[in-house]
Structure 1
Amino acid sequence: MDLNIILYGVASIFYLLVGGKIVSTFKKRGDQAPMWSLPVIAAAVVAHFWVLQSNIFCAPETILVTFGNSVSAMCFFSTLILFFGALYSRVHALYGIILIVAGFGIWSPLLFPSEAQPIVGSTFGFRLHIAFGLLAYSFMLMSVVQAVLMGILDSRLKSHAALDEPEGIVASMPNLMTMEKILFRVILACWVVLSLTILTGMVSTAHYFDAILAFDHKTVLTILSWTVFGILLLGRKLLGWRSKKALTIFWIAVALQVIAFFAYRFVLDVLQ
């Protein structure tokens, strides 16, 4: 049996095992993830990294970026970031849900095979650009999950349902203000990494095409998303934007970022 298939299975089972265990602890306020979860996730991350790098860096100085590889990389980086975050602070609900997403997302390269041609002779700057882009999408995935959790908590609080809910995911969450702080920290991280993605993209474009920017749909939509995220952060800092207004702007930025790359790659790799 192919070693990569075995590693896919090991990482997927470990992700789902720990993610399911964390979700199952949504019983009482203050319940914690089990101590054994961290070494199990560490083993899953190592297995995931092995198959991911062999898929993307398929030959020396060659890189293969497909829809499947990108989804797998997004899940990998999200899991890795939250793994280190879990060492220092409580990321209970977010951690469990991301692990479950990663347990299925790791199979994306096999579920969505692509006939895309590898990019041969890629420079270090271009590989850095790809890495920053995938990292930005990882922060975006975490922010989406956090925004959904915050929306659930907000709606339950407005209906007073959470006050009578001693068990479940809402009971395990911190207060709404803490959830909001976490969301904006993740958005800030996404914006910073997206800035680095654009800068390294400009360097790579200058190297390959003797131009600072390639004005294709991906570049335009990425810059628009970066701008909207920036406006959201400024509005939060200077005008105190919160709740419905902030989330509306957030979802616009997310939609632009998803269309910029993932929707485009899905059409090229899966639908064609």
Structure 2
Amino acid sequence: MILASTSPVGLLLGTAAALAYAVPAVAARAVGGVTARRVLLLAWVLHGLLLGWTLLGQHPRFGFAPALSITVWLVLTAYVVESQLYPQLRARWALAGFGTLAIALAMLFPGARLPETSSPLLPLHWALGISAYGLFAAAVAHGWLMTRAEAQMRHATRVVEGVPLLTLERLMFRFVSAGFVLLTLTMLAGMFFGEQLYGSAYTGWRWDHKRVFTLLSWIAFATLLVGRSQFGWRGRRAVRVLYIGAALLLLGYAGSRFVLEVMLGRGA
């Protein structure tokens, strides 16, 4: 998880990472492809250092903006790895823009202090949930690339990515499958081990907004995977269901926390 830091080091790392992300986001053509890739890699490293630095803080905090920030970093991690396997992949400007926005939001809205817990399983529970966010976000990014490539082919324009559609589709479903496994584990852990994870603060299963939206997203992703395996869903239909599931999952935690922290002004 991201832990908000108001220290000079944290502020410096956050500012440097946001500025580095901004270079390929707004001036990729001006600086050239090679330089844009190097600056994006630098921004990704600085972002990772920021996360590492804040994880060592004495007063951990969490909220909707930190959740989005670490999700974006995970998506960029997937992109950094994939770009080595598929150099034709081109999504730097969009990912860099999201990186700048995510860091800025996390600095403006650092979230609430995390409750004290004696359970060593709680960090694992959080890691599972945020990792699921990251994997589904990576699937959404591949779905967007696939949709754009299809549109370019339909209008007989040059495919910028240069990655075959079937490859993009296969990668998208791999991320969906892995994210679905982690989301399932996260939900089961919260359902059966909530008291051990959260101690006396846990009051049992409640049908609140977070749980309802998370369950609906799980159903959407399960439908997508079943539709893929049993009915051969692909293309725009699969991407639409993916977008629906991702939107529901986003509302499940980040959306609920945004309402509490920003609209209602409650950090807890």
Shorter chain as denominator, the TM-score bin is 0.7 to 0.9
Change (3 A) 1:119 1:50: farther
Aligned partners of 1:236 and 1:242 also within 8 Å: yes
Given that 1:153 and 1:176 are in contact with CA atoms closer than 8 Å, whether structure 2 keeps it comes out as yes
- Tell me if structure 2 keeps the 8 A contact 1:63–1:122: no
Q: Which amino acid aligns with 1:205?
A: G
Output the amino acid matched with 1:179. L
Task: Mark the CA change 1:197 to 1:185 in structure 2 (over 3 Å): closer, same or farther.
Answer: same
TM-score w.r.t. the length of structure 2 is 0.79
Matched, 1:230 2:222: yes
Q: 1:219 maps to which residue?
A: 211
Question: In 2, distance between residues paired with 1:89 and 1:206?
Answer: 45
Give unmatched runs, 5+ long, in structure 1.
Answer: 26-31
Percent identity of the aligned residues?
25
- Pairing of 1:59-98 with structure 2 (within 5 A): 59=58, 63-90=60-87, 92-98=89-95
| Equivalent residue, structure 1, for 2:3 | none
Q: What are the within-5 Å matches in structure 2 for residues 67-146 of structure 1? A: 67-90=64-87, 92-114=89-111, 116-121=112-117, 123-146=119-142
Secondary structure class of the residue paired with 1:119: coil
Secondary structure, counterpart of 2:34 in structure 1: coil
Q: Which amino acid aligns with 1:3?
A: V
Other-structure match for 1:186 = 175
Q: 2:70–2:130: 8 Å Cα contact kept in structure 1?
A: yes
* Structure 1 position 77, deviation (Å): 1.7
Aligned residue in 2 for 1:17: 23
8 Å CA contact 1:126–1:204 kept in 2: the answer is no
Deviation by residue 1:237-257 (Cα, 9 ceiling, x = unmatched): 221012233223222212211
Distance 1:224 1:118, change over 3 A: same
List runs of 5+ in structure 2 lacking aligned partners: 1-6
**1:156 is aligned with what amino acid?**
Q
TM-score computed with the length of structure 1 as normaliser: 0.78
- Report how far residue 35 of structure 1 moved: 8.5
Structure 1 residue matching 2:233: 3-state secondary structure? coil
Deviation at 1:268, TM superposition (A): 0.9
In 2, Cα distance between equivalents of 1:244 and 1:46: 34
Q: Quick check: 1:69–1:109 contact (8 Å CA) kept in 2?
A: yes
Secondary structure of residue in 2 paired with 1:106? helix
Contact 1:74 1:138 in 2 (8 A): yes
In structure 1, the residue matched to 2:145 is 149
In the alignment, is the contact (CA less than 8 A) between 2:90 and 2:160 conserved in 1? no
Query: Cα distance 1:197–1:95, how it changes in 2: closer, same or farther (>3 A)?
Result: farther
User: Which of the numbers 240, 249, 268 marks the counterpart of 2:260?
Assistant: 268
Which range moves more in the overlay, 47-56 or 176-185?
47-56
Deviation at 1:66, TM superposition (A): 0.9
The aligned residue for residue 6 of structure 1 is 12
The residue type paired with residue 70 of structure 1 is: A
CA offsets 1:114-166 (integer angstroms, 9 cap, x no match): 4x2322125221111111211111122222222222222223333xx2x2x34
* Deviation of the 1:69 alpha carbon: 1.2
Give the partner amino acid of 2:84.
L
Q: How does 1:169-208 map to 2 (within 5 A)?
A: 170-207=159-196, 208=199
Query: CA RMSD for the aligned pairs?
Result: 3.1
Give the paired residue count.
Answer: 254
Q: Is the 2:209–2:256 Cα contact (8 Å) retained in structure 1?
A: no
**Mean CA deviation greater in 171-180 or 135-144:** 171-180
**2: CA distance between counterparts of 1:195 and 1:138?**
14
Structure 1 residues 250, 42: CA separation in 2 closer, same or farther (over 3 Å shift)? closer
